[in-house]
Chains A and B, each alone.
Chain A
Amino acid sequence: MFGLSKKDGTLFLVVIGMTLFAPILLNPFPEGSELAQFNAGYPDLMQRFVIFGIFAIGFNILFGLTGYLSFGHAAFLGVGSYAGVWMLKLLTMNVVPAIMVSVVVAGLFSALVGYISLRRSGIYFSILTLAFAQMSFALAYSVLTPITNGETGLQLALDDPRILGVSQVNGSIPPTNFFGFEMRDGFTLDIASWSFTFNVGYYLCAAIMLIAFYLSIRIFRSPFGIMLQAVKTNQQRLRFTGVNTRPYTLAAFIISGMYAGLAGGLMVAMDPLAGAERMQWTASGEVVLMTILGGAGTLIGPVLGAGVIKYFENIFSKINDNVLYNWFSFMPDALQDAFVFMIHPFIGKGWHLTLGIMFMLVIICLPGGVVEGGQRIAKLFRRKKSGPADSGAASLPNSTPAE
């Protein structure tokens, strides 16, 4: 199937299914119900899920396979964003050139950064990449203002030349489109009290993420991918085995930089503006968290990690004290106050605290991230099934015999 092994093919099909039906899957609660605030199936957030999914998939090709921990990948995302906005300003509101140029520019920039940073490994490599990203961030804010528009951020304007398109439509900036399909378009499906929004922009991002995910599976399972894994486990041995590790790590670095650029390009395709804060070290740290939280070195982990973190950022941060009072309204007043007081630090602006605790728990209890958690649960079920009688073993050819 698609040139993948049976197991990977199944995983890919599941991911296709989940991204296709995400607008439905992520909106499990009826509109207007108390739990509706936990719905994540609105276009803006879904777009972010898949865009950061792409970012994390790319980061995982570098970190998950070679073990080189880059702390500056947000720089490539930022550079891609700026390049994308410039394409939208100068060329056309069709997002295709913008996305392609984002990838190319980010690739070139990562070739430069990688060439220099990969002279060192371990913590020194991390610091070098961090330094590059912070330099980019600072330059975007100051010296490069003509290109980046400094603090305001790079935006579209009514007098953009746009040589292959029009500068304005009826006195306003035309929307981004994919060969005529506008990114913000979509339709809403109402079934009973549920409401599902299918958005063009999301499906474009989802399609690109599926391609990106597919490519990453191919890389993971290829001879090239196995060399990258060998770099992680014993680089010294690999050198004495006749392999020049530098071009391998550089290739991985550039590929992951291009993924970051792709994510940046998609961001501006959805919302055409780019700011320097996208390159700040917190943004670089975020993708590290996503990858580790989901499971570094696993195929699906980074996507899951990106989903979890973006969900927390957008949903948990919206719960406020009023909502809490509502939940605990069945309690006596004093108890209600006490509960709200206790939970207050973990919600709203305190969502970082919840995320931090969750991150620590995952690192300590499940070093393999969410994916390892899933595997353990799956193992538990298998053991239960095959436990009482041996009949279960026949139906699960791949299961390991119970110890």
Chain B
Amino acid sequence: MGNLVVQGVNKAFAGLKALNNVNLNVQSGTVHAIIGPNGAGKSTLLNCFVGKLEPDTGTVMFEDQSLLNRQPHEINQLGVSRVFQTPEIFPDLGLLENVMIPAFAHRDGSFRLNWLPRIDNEAEIRERAEHMLEDVGLADNKADHAGALSRGDKRRLELAMCLVQEPRLLLLDEPTAGMSRADTNNTIDLLKRIGERGITKIVIEHDMHVVFSLAQKVSVMAQGTVIAEGSPEEIRGNPKVQEAYLGGAHL
């Protein structure tokens, strides 16, 4: 459950090879980090998992089902949720509604003409959403409009929106980017706690502190391909990785 197997994925944009024969094996229940310099193709790879991009060649299998040639909502309904690089929330709606919407989507499927009941009377969904907001530490301002939140809080809200759906695979695109050190540590704690639920997670991250405190396995990408893979300790000592990072940093 929750395992993802990527084989031979290629993607080119107008001649530029963004992904070059990427192979990845994410085991069920683990936290798998993908690191690499800017432009390495990390986000492009993630986009291929959620139906935002279609790879030119290759396969992406989630629990023995292909994720290719599917609409984003179909992939989500299979049990894959994603936290975006810039928080994607419903800014005009309240915090509670923000979390209730994914909960409805999880319960009712991709479409249901559910116009008769009142949203206030959906006690079960409401409770779950409130519980989820508590979990991420946003319970105190549930009446606010989500657009007014700070960037870090938006990200936590987005995480709550994904978790309330009880996904089996959670994709996190730089979950701590732009956060203070304190917020980053809070997020690490949060992610560790949800790690106990057995959700498989793929984390894209620049912050090595985050990577080494969360991940069981790390894949390093550079120029559209995976150059190294292993446990955090193995990766730390790998000369190829250091070269890729230093090279990237000076460019």
Residue of B nearest to A217 (CB): B118
The 3 A-B residue pairs with the shortest CB-CB distance, nearest first, are A242-B76, A244-B110, A233-B92
In the complex, per-residue mask of B81-104: 1 if CB is within 8 Å of any chain A CB, else 0: 110100011111100010011101
Within 8 Å CB of B206, what residues of A? none
Within 8 Å CB of A5, what residues of B? 118, 120
Within 8 Å CB of B116, what residues of A? 218, 222
**Complex partner residue of A224 from B72, B88, B113, CB under 8 angstroms:** B113
Residues of chain B from 117 to 163 with CB closer than 8 A to chain A in the complex:
117-120, 122, 161
- Contacts A240-B76, A241-B101, A242-B73 known; A224 to B89 CB distance under 8 Å? no
Write the residues of chain A forming the contact surface with B, with a CB cutoff of 8 angstroms.
3-5, 218-219, 221-227, 229-230, 232-234, 236-245, 247-248, 251
- Contacts A240-B50, A241-B76, A241-B105 known; A223 to B117 CB distance under 8 Å? yes
**Complex partner residue of A226 from B71, B73, B110, B119, CB under 8 angstroms:** B119
CB distance from B37 to the nearest CB of A (A): 26
Say whether A225 contacts B115, CB under 8 Å. yes
Say whether B100 contacts A240, CB under 8 Å. no
Residue of A nearest to B102 (CB): A241
CB distance from A1 to the nearest CB of B (A): 12
- Contacts A223-B108, A242-B73 known; A229 to B93 CB distance under 8 Å? yes
Within 8 Å CB of B111, what residues of A? 243-244, 247-248
CB distance from A335 to the nearest CB of B (A): 51
Within 8 Å CB of A243, what residues of B? 73, 101, 105, 110-111
Known: A223-B112, A236-B88. 17 other contacts (CB 8 A): A3-B118, A222-B119, A223-B114, A223-B115, A223-B117, A223-B122, A226-B97, A229-B92, A234-B88, A237-B88, A238-B101, A240-B73, A240-B88, A241-B101, A243-B73, A244-B73, A247-B111
Residues of chain B from 159 to 201 with CB closer than 8 A to chain A in the complex:
161, 165
Say whether B92 contacts A222, CB under 8 Å. no
> A-side binding surface: helix, strand, loop or mixed?
helix
CB distance from A318 to the nearest CB of B (A): 41
Residue of A nearest to B145 (CB): A233
Residue of B nearest to A3 (CB): B118
**Complex partner residue of A233 from B90, B104, B118, CB under 8 angstroms:** B90
A221–B120 Cα distance when bound, in Å, is 8
A299–B72 Cα distance when bound, in Å, is 32
A237–B97 Cα distance when bound, in Å, is 13
Say whether B165 contacts A242, CB under 8 Å. yes
Within 8 Å CB of A221, what residues of B? 118-120
Say whether B71 contacts A233, CB under 8 Å. no
A244–B109 Cα distance when bound, in Å, is 9
**Complex partner residue of B104 from A4, A226, A229, A237, CB under 8 angstroms:** A226
CB distance from A299 to the nearest CB of B (A): 14
- Which of B88, B108, B109, B115 has the most chain A CB atoms inside 10 A of its CB? B115
Residues of chain B from 46 to 94 with CB closer than 8 A to chain A in the complex:
50, 71-73, 76-77, 81-82, 84, 88-93
CB distance from A388 to the nearest CB of B (A): 28
Within 8 Å CB of A236, what residues of B? 88
A224–B116 Cα distance when bound, in Å, is 8
**Complex partner residue of B106 from A223, A232, A239, A242, CB under 8 angstroms:** A242
A219–B116 Cα distance when bound, in Å, is 7
Say whether A234 contacts B91, CB under 8 Å. yes
CB distance from B166 to the nearest CB of A (A): 12
- Contacts A219-B115, A223-B108, A224-B113 known; A240 to B122 CB distance under 8 Å? no
A230–B105 Cα distance when bound, in Å, is 12
Say whether B117 contacts A222, CB under 8 Å. yes
Say whether A240 contacts B82, CB under 8 Å. yes
A191–B242 Cα distance when bound, in Å, is 94
CB distance from B35 to the nearest CB of A (A): 23
Offer 13 A-B interface pairs, CB within 8 angstroms, sorted by A.
A4-B118, A221-B119, A226-B97, A227-B101, A229-B90, A229-B93, A230-B93, A234-B91, A237-B89, A240-B50, A240-B81, A242-B102, A251-B113
Say whether A226 contacts B92, CB under 8 Å. no
A330–B91 Cα distance when bound, in Å, is 57
Within 8 Å CB of A234, what residues of B? 88-91
Residue of B nearest to A231 (CB): B90
- Contacts A222-B118, A223-B117, A223-B119 known; A242 to B105 CB distance under 8 Å? yes
Say whether B93 contacts A222, CB under 8 Å. no
Say whether A230 contacts B117, CB under 8 Å. no
A251–B113 Cα distance when bound, in Å, is 8
A222–B89 Cα distance when bound, in Å, is 20
Within 8 Å CB of B82, what residues of A? 240
Say whether A224 contacts B76, CB under 8 Å. no
Residue of A nearest to B82 (CB): A240
Say whether B92 contacts A232, CB under 8 Å. yes
Within 8 Å CB of B112, what residues of A? 223-224
Residue of A nearest to B121 (CB): A3
Within 8 Å CB of A251, what residues of B? 113
- Which of B100, B114, B120 has the most chain A CB atoms inside 10 A of its CB? B114
A240–B161 Cα distance when bound, in Å, is 11
